[in-house]
Structure 1
Amino acid sequence: MPKTEKNCRWGAMHGGCTTLSFGNLLLKVMGTNYNIQFSVIIPSFNSADTIAACIESILSQSFQDFEILLIDGLSTDDTLNIAQSFNNPRIRITSEKDSGIYDAMNKGVNQAKGNWLYFLGSDDALFDNTILSQINNIIVADKLVKIIHGDVVTTAGTTERYENYNFWNLVIDRCICHQAIFYHRSLFEGRLYDTRFKMAADWDFNLKVFADRVTSVYVPLVVAKFSTDGVSGNWMQHPEYLAYFADRKKLVSKYKGNSYLPYYYISKVLRKIRSKLF
């Protein structure tokens, strides 16, 4: 059997090919079925006051290889009319009943055609028009990276920094807010947000992927303007946090195993020493 024919049959089982040309087949396999660089997923519900600024912050990006997936929970205000008024083919809108923000985010994952996924709240905005370009530069430079994260500024006027985060930062400190982090879509293969959580499913998700020693890169870049008006603004008082995330030793046992508890204690001690020295 000629080499090109054999490879074309293999390609057909993984999305098909339209020609026996080896060059075209190679491009097909390398490109995968996901032909967009970024899928920006926006869960929304009655967001008429903020959705225009959110969408504009994406459409104004200097890097234009993206799609916007607005996953709406049957808004009763003008959210959908405002989104539709952009009349932009990059924007795809779904409006149907959901069971919360993480259900909407999962729907976005399932619809996404991008190689990289990013979740932006409907009352948030990308910090400036260079964000996607700067993130794409990192992707091009490091073929192994699966997570890229930066920082956010909040509507309260503070900057939340996540410098060089790893599993232990997620356990001892806090989660990286989803407005600061870009995920390679492979991290969602066989894994979605656990919708049993209503406030902290992204923390649960990050603990799972970082526990697997995912290759991540921190960039000292403010990625987004993050609204603290929602439930995440008071996360340490939320019953879900108190029940499932406040006891950090339990997090180590759940996501890494009891044998890693000594690393937890060592990490805490090192952090105390570092804080006194610097």
Structure 2
Amino acid sequence: MKISIITVAYNAAQTIGAALQSVANQRHPNIEHIVIDGASKDATLEIIREHADRVNTLVSEPDKGIYDAMNKGLARATGDVIAFLNSDDRYASADAISSVVDTFERHHVDAVLGDVAFFDPKSPERIIRRYRSDRFTPARLAYGWMPAHPGLFVRRAEYVRTGRFATDYRIAGDYEMIIRLFSRPELRYRHLPEILVHMQTGGASTAGIKAKLQLNREVLRACRENGIDTNMLKILSKYPAKLLEYLSRYILSSDAQKSR
């Protein structure tokens, strides 16, 4: 099974090396890595070229935003399955892709949902929160729930059926895409209870209150444009459960320290 991994980058010199290396480290033998750079003005392109032997496709040109860049990646992907790895994220282990492939082959599904661990860029080894994708079901789209996007692997045929990312979203274009993918009752998916990706905090969707407000407004719009009955109160109701993810991590860390 061939896996296409798409990495979108812009001025990511501080982080993209680790992202590229985490793909190069994968033990699965059939990976296509596509990097779409938005004509970065820092050393991003130089770093990508240092990994040229493991990057199958490189595009460096101005784009109209992250979802336009993702569409460029989709158009070039030739794998059986497609995933997106952000330029400031990295795969959690060298066996992450192998575990995903094994799940596809054993369960004959259209999508695999893995977990993502958030880390503080100042302390990369310290996990702040585990984003559990098993909390997601299509019925929860109306409540703002989605599987962790960097841990989502979808057959390319499903993207062909669903179409491109909507480029008039700034933050929630991935959410809008997930609505279209998972609103089809025939789509088969399975949760893989492993942390597949370590995701850095501070990205577009996690960068403070202002970003959260815009995100939730776009989530509301995505639901309404795709015929999902919801309101802002429903969407905001997901935050207590997300707070529990932080608290559970804190409790586990405290217990581990006490047991030493």
CA contact (8 A) 2:205 2:215 kept: no
Output the CA distance in 2 between the equivalents of 1:179 and 1:207.
16
Which residues of structure 2 form unaligned runs of 5+?
121-127, 245-260
Output the CA distance in 2 between the equivalents of 1:99 and 1:177.
24
Q: How does 1:233-252 map to 2 (within 5 A)?
A: 233-234=206-207, 237-238=210-211, 239-246=213-220, 251=223
Match of 2:190 in 1: 217
- Residues 1:71 and 2:1 are matched in the alignment: no
2:112 equivalent among 137, 141, 148:
148
- What SS does the corresponding residue of 2:133 show, helix, strand or coil? coil
What does the per-residue CA deviation read over 1:160-208, in whole Å, with 9 as the maximum and x for residues that have no partner? 1111522122322422232110011112215111001010011011111
Q: Per-residue deviation at 1:257?
A: 5.7
Output the CA distance in 1 between the equivalents of 2:208 and 2:81.
27
> TM-score, length-normalised on structure 2?
0.79
Match of 2:123 in 1: none
- What SS does the corresponding residue of 1:93 show, helix, strand or coil? strand
Which one has more relative contact order, counting CA pairs under 8 Å at least 6 apart?
2
- Which has the larger Rg? 1
Output the CA distance in 1 between the equivalents of 2:209 and 2:173.
15
**RMSD, aligned CA:** 2.5
The 1:235–1:178 alpha-carbon spacing in structure 2 relative to 1, beyond 3 Å, is farther
Q: How does 1:51-70 map to 2 (within 5 A)?
A: 51-70=16-35
CA contact (8 A) 2:179 2:226 kept: yes
Please list every run of at least 4 consecutive aligned residues from structure 1 whose deviation after the TM superposition is greater than 6 angstroms. none
Q: How does 1:27-38 map to 2 (within 5 A)?
A: 37-38=2-3
Match of 1:126 in 2: 91
Q: Percent identity, aligned pairs only?
A: 25
Match of 2:252 in 1: none
Output the CA distance in 2 between the equivalents of 1:121 and 1:53.
11
User: Which deviates the most, 166-175 or 202-211?
Assistant: 166-175
CA contact (8 A) 2:142 2:228 kept: no
Q: How does 1:65-144 map to 2 (within 5 A)?
A: 65-143=30-108
Q: Per-residue deviation at 1:90?
A: 4.1
Output the CA distance in 2 between the equivalents of 1:122 and 1:37.
21
Match of 1:21 in 2: none
Q: Per-residue deviation at 1:242?
A: 4.0
Q: Per-residue deviation at 1:142?
A: 2.4
Which residues of structure 1 form unaligned runs of 5+?
1-35
The 1:160–1:234 alpha-carbon spacing in structure 2 relative to 1, beyond 3 Å, is same
Q: Per-residue deviation at 1:49?
A: 0.9
The 1:105–1:235 alpha-carbon spacing in structure 2 relative to 1, beyond 3 Å, is farther
Q: Per-residue deviation at 1:89?
A: 4.9
